[in-house]
Amino acid sequence: MMKKLLLLPLLLILFGCSNDESAPNTPPNLNISFMEYSVDNTTKTTTNVSYIYSASNTLKATGTHDGANNCVIFVNDSGTGSSIIQTIEIKHQALNYLPGTNFTTNISVNDAERIEGTFSGVFRKDSDPNIQISITNGVFRIMK
């Protein structure tokens, strides 16, 4: 009888706390590279990010999503702030887009392990600047 009395509270604790939907989300794994942004209010996300050094101190990171569409970020390998990203290229619906007007960037982390930052703005088609898309909520992490 005593074993049953001890077992009952233990079971209530285990089952009562095992599926609490009000618990806060765990923070994202800091060891995973990702890129995420919205194109005309549609979110594009990838955790398949690779990089190469395209020039001295310039890292070229590529994240592919939706088949052949991607985001390519050229960023200095050191420093933080708004001038560290050299450019961003977006391939959307098989068309290439480059930064246009109201383009903003910020690098918040740039150390030996990772580069993290944000971007947004109007991007223009590389062969016809009159064709534009709006990029919002751009965030990324590149693991070195």
pLDDT by residue (tens digit) across 68-110? Answer: 899 999 999 999 999 999 999 999 999 999 999 889 999 999 9
Confidence of residue 47 (pLDDT cuts 50, 70, 90): confident
pLDDT of 3 > 50? The answer is no
Residues 64-70 have a mean pLDDT of 89
Residues 37-59 have a mean pLDDT of 93
Q: What is the model's pLDDT at position 28?
A: 58
> In whole angstroms, what is the distance from residue 99 CA to residue 125 CA?
9
Q: What is the pLDDT of residues 8-39, one digit of tens each?
A: 444 334 444 444 444 333 445 778 999 999 99
Beta bridge partners of 122: 134
Sign of CA dihedral 34, 124, 121, 93: negative
Q: What is the model's pLDDT at position 29?
A: 75
Which pairs with CB-CB distance under 8 Å and at least 24 residues apart come from 66-69?
A: 68/94, 69/44, 69/93, 69/94
For the chain, the straight-line distance linking the first and the last C-alpha, in angstroms and rounded, comes to 59
